Structures are given as C-alpha cells and as structure tokens.
Structure 1
C-alpha cells in the first residue's frame, strides 16, 4: 500500500515540479533547457529526489542556481498542493550527465 502511495505522490510531484521549473528557468538569460527526468521519494517521505538534465551542456552556474532555489520551489509546491498533500518533503536536485 505504501508503494502505491509513493507512486501516486511521485507522479503528482513530477507534474508540478516540471511546471515550476519551466516557469522559473525562463527568467535566466542563457539559452538552455532543463528537463525533469525522474522524481523519487524516499520510503519515509522525507526527501524528494528530482533528477534533471540540462541541454546543450551542463553549466555549473545553472546547477548552483537550481539547487539554491530548491527551498523556494518547495514553497511553491506547498502552495500548489496544499489541499492534496499535508507536508511537502525536502527537495533536492540531482544532475544527470548528457553522456549516459
């Protein structure tokens, strides 16, 4: 039962995080694309692991920007999902290399 709950929760969070990233990233002046690949939630529901890919290449400035705004993104998630989820877990971003 807990696995089904985590799958449903991760699919809801995937949609919301991808929308937040697409809205927020467009304010940076560089030409790049951030794609949300996968969202995983730890078994105790304390951490959201969001795996992103950056095109055309990984830039350290973009990575720092996304990670520094994770608290802000969590606050946006809590506003968007306030009637569906009681407590939003901590949000952490992991960068997937383009050359897998």
Structure 2
C-alpha cells in the first residue's frame, strides 16, 4: 500500500511527463488565469436571461421525463449553470432559486 504522499508524487511525475512541463506550475498557471476572469453576480442577470434559462431547463426536463418535480428542475438548472463562474455561492443559489 502506498501513502498519499507517494501517490501524489507519482501523479505529479506522470503529469509532468504528459504536460511537458512541471505539473504544479501548470496547475498554478490555470488557477491564475481563472482568477482574472470576470465572475458573475446574480444581479448581473436580467429577467430575460433568467426567463431564457428557465425555458431551457423546463424543455430539457420535459424531454427526459414524463413526470417530474422540483428536484428534477433543480438538478437540471445546476447542470445548465455548471460552466458559469459565480462570484459567490450565494450568487449561484440566487440564480438557481
């Protein structure tokens, strides 16, 4: 059995070979890029955008299920918002609600 430190070191070595550069530096570069992206706040979305999101969500749920409820709508809304970077968790929840 290997320790977590050993497994992490092995992963880092394999990732460095695959990436062609130090894996830790590569990961930090990705994090730094993400930090400069604009983060969405719930107030940034207008009613028309919320309506469009709701329309897509309801169409997706209706296409997949004959019967559905609140939790199906909740799950689909989260799937639709998965790629959106929000400023805070509260902003994500406000849009979800």
TM-score range, shorter chain: 0.3 to 0.5
Structure 1 or 2, whichever has the larger Rg, is: 2
Greater share of residues in helix: 2
What is the TM-score with the length of structure 2 in the denominator?
Answer: 0.34
Q: Which has the higher strand share?
A: 1
Q: Tell me the TM-score normalized by structure 1.
A: 0.34
